[in-house]
Amino acid sequence: MNDRNADILEHIIRYCKEIMDARERFGNTLEELQSDIHFRNSVAMCILQIGELAGHFSDDFKAQYNKVPWQKIKGMRNITAHHYGKIDTNILFTTISERIPELHIYCENLLQQYTESEQETKSGET
């Protein structure tokens, strides 16, 4: 993994945290998501950003770390960006309540592995 991919991971992690913070602030139910436009807008913007970032990983990175459907994440970004008024709130709720926490953990683990690997490399150079 290179620094560019690590930087992208850091940004994705931040947006995942923002979604989790929004769930704490606005609520954790489908009904709250459906009734609160500010809640929907908040999480939809983060999903849009995550999808945009996922498209910037190197091809090698996406091939090596393929436990996440990077193309589907980018596809969700496209739906959010181009068909916002038609987003299925059931899918959006499943995404923010199940998929985002999984993505958050996965990306944090990858970033930690990268950081540890970089530290080992630097300590081996001295």
Quote the domain boundaries for residue 60. Answer: 3-125
Asked if residue 103 lies in contact with residue 53, where contact means CB atoms within 8 angstroms, the answer is no
Q: What is the pLDDT of residue 126?
A: 57
For 19-70, what is each residue's pLDDT tens digit? 999 999 998 899 999 999 999 999 999 999 999 999 999 999 999 998 889 8
Instruction: Indicate the SS3 state at residue 83.
Output: coil
Looking at the structure of the chain, the number of domains it has is: 1
Would you say 108 and 27 are in contact if contact means Cβ atoms under 8 Å apart?
A: no
Burial call 99-114: b when 16+ CB within 10 Å, e when fewer: bbeebbebbbebbeeb
Q: What is the pLDDT of residue 86?
A: 74
CA distance 11 to 109: 14
Interatomic CA distance for residues 73 and 115, integer angstroms = 24
Tens digit of each residue's pLDDT (9 = 90 or more) over 63-116: 999 888 988 898 888 888 777 667 889 999 999 999 999 999 999 999 999 888
pLDDT score recorded for residue 100: 96
DSSP-derived secondary structure letter, 66: T
Q: Whole-prediction pTM value?
A: 0.89
Q: Give the pLDDT of residue 85.
A: 67
Instruction: Note the pLDDT of residue 20.
Output: 97
- Give kind and range of the element (H or E) at residue 88: none
